[in-house]
Amino acid sequence: MARDHLGGNKKVSHGLFAGLLMSRYAWNSSDRASIAAGSYEAEVQTWLGLRVPKGNRDVINVGAGDGLYAIGLLHSGLASRAFCFETNKTSRDSIVANSKANGVGPDALIVAKTFTRLQDHESSELQGFKYEDALFIVDIEGAEFDLLDRYFFKSFRRARGIIELHDNPENRKANLILVAEEFFEVGILNSSNRNPADYPLLANLSDDLRWSVMSEGRDKPGEWLGLVPKHSGR
């Protein structure tokens, strides 16, 4: 399998997070090959690269996993401080280990436990968070439909954001978009056709292995909301 060939590569070789060192993983091992190649969630990386200029901004990462996005955004210069929420303790430990591997100090990275609602954290973990021109990345396995309310979107109305969508039996995606559209221009990103030839780390693998990296092992194509403030004109 591709991860047997590439899973030992701890440095991201291509894409927005090129050069990032992922020294420790607690999350799904099937993602490691695509992370190393730089193709992991390529649509999201492209969106961030096009719509988020480098700058001194805060990012909140809800469902931070092993810290790929939070630390990757610091590494790439798109953010200067990251606030991570992650339920799994082993993953939180990975975030800390990966931040140290990339020279990220404790002042630039705040790691917290489970995210409930934004107003529950404003006087504690998010005290001092700068909402102006901030960035939010949310991947919480379906809880987005319960936890992202009008208060959240209004608070981040001058920020940009990515929300990964998951299956929901009540099909509440339309309502989530409706609430967000009061403050944001909302676009939908989908997993698209990717070309293994774009990723140099895959050059010496067989066709079968190269294409297996592109799949990311998902049960269905990934889907995300990309949000840009209405006032920004972008």
Per-residue pLDDT, 232: 56
Cα 71 to chain centroid, rounded: 10
**Per the structure, how many domains does the chain have?**
1
User: Is residue 22 in some structural domain?
Assistant: no
- Domain of 82? 41-204+219-232
Per-residue pLDDT, 222: 84
Per-residue pLDDT, 233: 47
Per-residue pLDDT, 205: 86
User: Is residue 145 in some structural domain?
Assistant: yes
Per-residue pLDDT, 194: 83
User: Is residue 210 in some structural domain?
Assistant: no
Per-residue pLDDT, 100: 95
User: Is residue 64 in some structural domain?
Assistant: yes
Per-residue pLDDT, 26: 78
The whole-number mean pLDDT for each consecutive block of 10 residues of the chain, a chain of 234 residues, reads 60 95 79 89 96 96 95 97 95 95 93 92 93 95 88 97 85 90 96 85 87 78 93 56
CATH number of domain containing 195 = 3.40.50.150
Per-residue pLDDT, 216: 75
Identify the residue whose tokens are 């091992």: 29
CA angle 23, 28, 33 (to 5 degrees): 65
Per-residue pLDDT, 234: 46
pTM tops 0.75: yes
